[in-house]
Amino acid sequence: MTSKLTISKIKTILKQKPSPEFIKKLTNDQRKGAQAQLKSYLRRLDKIEKRKVLFEERFSFEKEYWNEGFSYVAGIDEAGRGPLAGPVVAAAVILPHNFDLLEVNDSKQLSAAKREYLYGKILEKALAVGVGFADNKLIDEINIYQATRSAMKEAVAALTIRPQQLIIDAMQIETEIPQLKLIKADARSVSVAAASIIAKVSRDHLMSYYDTLYPAYDFKDNKGYGTAKHLGALAAYGVTPIHRKTFEPIKSKFAEEA
């Protein structure tokens, strides 16, 4: 009988995957506190089930390829196309068929703390992870679009397992590997979402390092984007070796200082 348990004890048990028998007994516990804990538990369970359904939907592209015999499917995404400074970073991730991190989603929908946590988990569970970089000099030389493609190609080449199929967020690259160009892929494919997290966190770590070299520009917080503090530092100190000279307003306002 759960009526002999304190509400606090019931709450603790409900956090530890209770048995069906316990839930059945709790249903018959007439105490308001017990019923409140049961309702809270059932709501959490419902949320988890809905997340599982959405997660499985985001695995639909991978599953289709797996069913066709393509065991190694790599999701590819990038981070850093828009900033005024730093590289664009791409990642390629091949996930196992039993990958079950329900929280893996488009990196833009996650907090920085959650991305950091999932970054470690993805590295731990993925079959292979590759990262590619295109620095500001290459970006200025061949433009951001082509530099992004170059970083993505480098990320695929860095994989320790050769993928049989690529899923790429809204782009195509030069490769003999079959590829699917998928709009908003980071929200539609778990593999691409995983790649978006790896790319974003990898770039954030790099920008935090650059912050130690050029502290006035606040790269740790703005990641190279044109915030007021960043633009103020540009006006006061000029461009750094990691700034993109072909990007506005650097091209117009600070070109003579480059």
Strand bridging mode 179-182 / 165-169: parallel
Measured CA to CA, the distance from residue 91 to residue 131 in angstroms comes to: 4
Residue 29 among known ligand-binding residues: no
Q: Residue 93 corresponds to which tokens in the numbers above?
A: 């991730």
For 94-140, the DSSP string reads: E--TT---TT---GGGS-HHHHHHHHHHHHHH-SEEEEEEE-HHHHH
Residue 78 among known ligand-binding residues: yes
Strand partners, 134: 88
b/e burial code for range 182-208 (CB count within 10 A of at least 16 → b)? beebbbbbbbbbbbbbbbbbbbbebbe
Exposure of 41 in the CB half-sphere (CA atoms within 13 A): 22
- Sheet harboring 165-169: ordered strands across? 128-134, 88-94, 73-79, 165-169, 179-182
Cα angle for residues 143, 148, 151 (degrees, 5° grid) = 125
Give yes or no for a contact between 192 and 59, defined as CB atoms under 8 angstroms apart: no
Q: Hey, is 149 helix, strand or coil?
A: helix
Residue 77 among known ligand-binding residues: yes
Minimal CA–CA distance to 234: which of 208, 258, 210, 206? Answer: 258
Binding-site residue numbers are 77-78, 169
Binding site as annotated, residues for a divalent metal cation: 77-78, 169
